[in-house]
Amino acid sequence: MGSRGLRLALACCLLLAFACGLVLGRVPHGQQEQQEQEGTREPPMDHAERDEEEHEKYGPRQDEEAPVSRCLRCCDPGTPVYQAIPVPQINITILKGEKGDRGDRGLQGKYGKTGSVGARGHTGPKGQKGSMGAPGDRCKNHYAAFSVGRKKPLHSNDYYQTVIFDTEFVNLYSHFNMFTGKFYCYVPGIYFFSLNVHTWNQKETYLHIMKNAEEVVILYAQVSDRSIMQSQSLMLELRDQDEVWVRLFKGERENAIFSDEFDTYITFSGYLVKPANEP
């Protein structure tokens, strides 16, 4: 360590010694007043003198009445009311900060358990009757049936003849035309047809059930000494506006069917079995 360091150490020691001397030589203010009072204090008094002095100091004077002490209850009238110290209120709006941005939407929670079925409610009032709808299309009638007969005999000639019927038993929606002798299909689907005729003695019976211009099935009976009832039946799948009818063969042979005005010997019938739009 150099001379400079020694000088600094010596100066620090002198300052420390001076400060300690000031502290040790100083008398506290309270202790100094106590010493002064003790120097000027009078000699202590005995008990009798002390009681007499206190009685003169605190006792009532001759011209004054001794104060009467009384107890006060909080419910007595005129009791001094002490005001309650109000509790300090803190304005929360000062401490509340600004509204933050909306956070991201959380994940969807699990589905809860299915609750029990509630009780059935009361039956509501009956509604008003609706207005009548427009008439439907003729093709939307899912029914078709006819049955017709003939009371006049028919003989062949040089050309084919359509068998015309003069008696109407059933003709639903007039799908069978009595003037042309043909059934017109207005409801596509599968149909059943049957033809019944009475043969003529010593004459041949030769007819066809036709679909449009096509010969579908034949009804035939050979020449015989006796007349008999002969029949033919079949099922056809028809489309809209197809025609089904009965044709008598032309006069290469003597061909005829019998009937009279008293009984109906010749009948032709048909009806819809299944519409095409049904599965």
- Which domains occur in the chain, in start order? 145-274 (2.60.120.40)
DSSP states of 31-74 as a string? HHHHHHHHHHPPPPP-HHHHHHHHHHHHSPPTTSPPPPP----T
DSSP states of 222-244 as a string? ---SS--EEEEEEEEEE-TT-EE
Please tell me whether residue 161 adopts helix, strand or coil conformation: strand
The alpha carbon torsion through 233, 234, 240, 244 (nearest 10 deg) reads -40
Flag whether the pTM goes above 0.95. no
pLDDT tens-place values along the chain, 279 residues long? 556 666 677 767 677 766 665 545 554 555 555 555 555 555 555 556 666 666 565 555 555 555 555 666 666 666 555 566 777 776 666 666 778 888 888 888 888 888 888 888 888 888 888 887 776 665 566 889 999 999 999 888 888 999 999 999 999 999 999 999 999 999 999 999 999 998 888 888 889 999 999 999 999 888 888 888 899 999 999 999 999 999 998 876 788 888 888 889 999 999 999 999 887
Residues 197 and 256 sit within 8 Å (Cβ to Cβ): no
